[in-house]
Structure 1
Amino acid sequence: MAKTSVLDDMLTDMESAPQEFKPTNFWNSGLKKIVDDIQEFGISSFRTHPSARFFYVPVYASNTYSRWRHILDPILAKLPPRKRKRWATRLTHSDRARADYRLYRASERSGGLDLDKVSESTDVDGERFEFDGRAYSYPMLNYMRALNLLKREVDTSDFASCLEIGGGFGTLGEIFLKAQSNGIYVNVDIPPVAAVSTWYLQQVFGADRVLDYSQSRLMDEIDLDDLKGKYSAVVLCPWQLPKLKGQFDLFANFMSFQEMEPDVVANYISIIKPLIARNVLVRNHAIGKKVAEKSGDIGVLEQVTTGFIVEKFDGFDVLARDSFVHGALSEDGKYQSEVIVLERSPKS
């Protein structure tokens, strides 16, 4: 009998998982598209899949350029240098990437996690920009600006473990483990994205350094202390979260709590709170994700706001919150993506 893939195992096990650990309305609307793209194009090209751009691999480039790059690049190459640069900037939005990089540099703090050592892997195809000899993608610059807010508020020099829910293709794991080479990163995510992040982290750090679902699915207990030293990264599915034991220096959630329903978020937070020894770093829309017109449409059925998230982290104090530099704030104020740093209260 042929060995099934990690993704096949995840999808099969998800069918019998408790409802609170299954994809909610937002992700159900895109689940089939993502799986279909992986099956048609292969997992190695995930960053250029049509579904990835919308659901888990944000990019700077315009929709026009992303869709027609294979036609536009040869045309741009024939233009005079000044005109080529002007049109390339319009299409790729490289100016926005540079602006985010400048914010990252302007807000950086010395000491703590050594973000200056971080450069995104170029072994996997996808959009990235090079500044000062290092490569960055849209997700990486988002994370790094937020991490600067964390570094401003707390000493991260001895942070050695990070737990994330909804880690996309593993960007925070790449940052954290390159900044702290002896650290360990655990990502909990739904399939098929959990399979993508497993594959990506294996390409960056080596397959033997990443504990994948085929190795962990039958574990009765997933103990952080047992995993340290053996693995750099661990990718789990949500229904495995109750099996996770240990104490993490940092918990992170970026732009995924807002894609869930309030009862699901409340359940996740209730499970992870005992696992967090020190700090929480979250970034989500302040007013919540777009509400779907009906079940099955793209959007959430009920919004999760940043206020709701903070409320559920009782026993933690808010140290800082920002949209203007470390998150995102539109000129009219209607779009506000807020980064919040919390710390476990001494009383808890």
Structure 2
Amino acid sequence: MTDFDVNLANMLEGMETADSAFKPTNFWSSGLPSIMKDIEALGVETFRDHPSAAFFYVPVYASNTLRRYGRFVLPIANKLPARKKAKFMRRLTRLDRALADYRLMLATSLQGGLPIEDVSESDVGSGERFEFDGRSFSRSMLNYMRALNLYKRHADSSKVASILEIGGGYGTLGEILLKAVAGGIYVNVDIPPVAAISTYYLQQVFGVDNVLTYTDAEELDEIDLDALKSRYRAIVLCPWQLPRVKGQVDLFANFMSFQEMEPDVVRNYIKMVQPLVKYHVLVRNSAVGKKVAAKKGDIGVMEQVKSDFIQQQFDAFDTVAADAFVYGEENETGTYRSEVCLLKRR
């Protein structure tokens, strides 16, 4: 077994006996089998190409046609004249949408503060990325970069050297921080198997010895961030390890995963992380709520969590800024409104 396999197996074993407050809720319970199936069949090395990844933890720009039928349509595209092929591929890949997000990122960027201006994304995990001005971006990274620009505009981000995130996907925010701040430390708390994928990704980008794994952390009575930051650049934990975390971080983040949980679970997480946060909270979640499942076991939530609920739970913080139009995303009808909110400790 590889180190990835061992770490994942340990996570899955730990999840079996974990308190229900730390286990996957309805939305994620419906998706875990497909994620596991893809890992077993296709391997972790190309996780960003997995069919389940695009739905659950790797946002992409690609059209459904390209994702589902690429093996059929790409040979057709290759036979087209150059100009028609370029136009056809722009539609399939939605390059124009990626470019629009990149332009928004540039237009909202500010000098000073957290130095993210030169960050470029790794190609680990394969998958969709676009290159603009010599830098590489996935949709995930452009989402984070725009939100960080809101942070930089409304608060002093120059002190940010440590971030705790719940539901950090494969580790994009950690990659941004650790490439921007030489002495930074990133902590991701997530459920398996995504936590194992995040561990793999951050190890590949920053080195195996620079990432504290779930398995390593299980040997610690306390997960003391102040003591660990001199040894590690990243720490990846599972939720039931969160009560053992001590110390403080500069920023807490949650991007589009609180909205996938049930209210009591979100309330519990916020109660635990609030004392760990020194300065700010940066969240991006739905202002209108995730789809409600028709019945338990179907994809969706049983009860919606909206961005205003999340802000209310952080009762030691005040909301400084909230936006969906520029820094998040919303449609014309208002049925989709992904809102970025920045909160500051009182």
TM-score normalised to structure 2 length: 0.97
Q: In the alignment, what sits opposite 1:40?
A: 41
Amino acid at match of 1:226: A
* Structure 2: unaligned runs, 5 residues or longer: none
Q: Deviation at 1:82?
A: 1.1
> How far apart, CA to CA, are the structure 1 residues paired with 2:81 and 2:247?
59
Opposite residue 175 of structure 2, the aligned amino acid is: E
Aligned to 2:12: 11
User: Counterparts of 1:91-130 in structure 2 under 5 Å?
Assistant: 91-130=92-131
**Counterpart position of 2:310:** 309
Per-residue Cα deviation, 1:220-277 (whole angstroms, up to 9, x for no partner): 1000111112111100000000000111100000000000000000000000000000
Q: Is the 2:45–2:124 Cα contact (8 Å) retained in structure 1?
A: no
Secondary structure of 2:31's aligned partner: helix
The range that moved more, 122-131 or 289-298, is 122-131
Match of 1:282 in 2: 283
TM superposition shift of 1:156:
1.2
The residue that corresponds to 2:238 in the other structure is 237
SS in 2 for 1:54: helix
2:132, 2:182 → 1: CA distance? 23
Deviation (angstroms), 1:74 = 3.3
Match of 1:61 in 2: 62
Identity rate of aligned residues, in percent? 62
How has the CA–CA distance of structure 1 residues 38 and 271 changed in structure 2, closer, same or farther, with 3 Å as cutoff?
same
Match of 1:26 in 2: 27
CA distance in 2, matches of 1:341, 1:35: 34
Tell me how far apart the structure 1 counterparts of residues 309 and 86 of structure 2 sit (CA, whole Å): 44
Per-residue displacement from partner, 1:65-86 (whole Å, max 9, x unpaired)? 1123234333323321210111
Partner of 1:256: 257
Summarize the alignment of residues 206-221 of structure 1 with structure 2, pairs less than 5 Å apart: 206-221=207-222
Q: Which amino acid is the alignment partner of residue 314 of structure 2?
A: F
Q: Tell me the distance in 1 between the aligned counterparts of 2:141 and 2:70.
A: 22
Query: Which residue identity does 1:160 align to in structure 2?
Result: A
Please give the alpha-carbon distance, in whole angstroms, between the structure 2 residues aligned to 1:343 and 1:96: 32
Q: State the aligned residue count.
A: 345
One-letter amino acid of the counterpart of residue 336, structure 1: R
In structure 2, give the amino acid aligned to 1:37: D
Identify the residue that residue 78 of structure 1 maps to in structure 2.
79
Question: 2 CA distance for matches of 1:79 and 1:85?
Answer: 9
Question: Which residue is 2:272 aligned to?
Answer: 271
Q: Distance in 2 between matches of 1:133 and 1:283?
A: 27
Partner residue in 1 for 2:151:
150
Residue 2 (structure 1) shift: 9.8
The 2-side partners of 1:75 and 1:302 are apart by 44
How far apart are the structure 1 equivalents of 2:316 and 2:94?
Answer: 42
Report the Cα offset of residue 334 of structure 1.
1.5
Question: 1:135-162 CA deviation, whole Å, 9 max, x = no partner?
Answer: 0000100000000000001111121100
Provide the C-alpha distance between the structure 2 equivalents of 1:149 and 1:2, rounded to a whole number of angstroms: 40
74-83 or 87-96, which moves further after superposition? Answer: 74-83
Whole-angstrom CA distance in 1 between matches of 2:124 and 2:48:
12
RMSD after superposition: 1.3
Can you list the C-alpha shifts for 1:48-69, whole angstroms capped at 9, x where unaligned? 1111111111100011111232
Which residue of the partner structure matches residue 343 of structure 2? Answer: 342
The aligned residue for residue 326 of structure 2 is: 325
CA distance in 1 between counterparts of 2:74 and 2:10 reads 39
